[in-house]
Amino acid sequence: MKKNGILNSHISKVLADLGHTDYIVIADVGLPVPDGVPKIDLALTYGVPSFRDVVHVISEDMAIEQITIAEEMVAQNQDTFLYMQQKFDHIPLLKCSHEEFKRYSQQAKVIIRTGESRPYANCILHAGVHFGTAAR
């Protein structure tokens, strides 16, 4: 049994398999999942687990070099937008239209569906590279 980190075996495997520039989507309950893109459905009920909870846990275990959100989040879900800005103040935060966001999601390695029911609570996490501090 794992001692720490993400316990969900599906998410843990996806993160371990990511390469540089691969990306995953963390989605609210309403984001459509394109045919052929795997979905890990964490939604238990509306709001559980929250978008923030899932983003926080995954960001602790993933090297992220860039984040993409829908520009509609800025005006229609300001709390989530402010959370993303503050949490990832050291990572580039790109914006695109929601329609473009849905097109990008077609190439995601996985879409992780949360129970979030606020609009536009979706993000694309682009994998970076972590070379660690192993002794040489």
Six-digit token string for 115 = 């129970």
Q: 122 a known binding residue?
A: yes
Q: 79 a known binding residue?
A: no
Q: Which value, to the nearest 10 degrees, does the dihedral of the CA atoms of residues 73, 77, 80, 81 take? A: 40
Q: 108 a known binding residue?
A: no
Six-digit token string for 87 = 């949490």
**CA nearest neighbour of 56 among 5, 101, 119, 107:** 5
> Looking at 20, 56, 90, 130, which residue is catalytic?
20
Partners of residue 24 on adjacent β-strands: 125
Six-digit token string for 62 = 């993933």
Q: 8 a known binding residue?
A: no
Q: Catalytic: 20?
A: yes
Q: 104 a known binding residue?
A: no
Residue list, annotated binding site for substrate: 28, 98, 120-122
Residue list, annotated binding site: 28, 98, 120-122
Please give the positions annotated as active site: 20
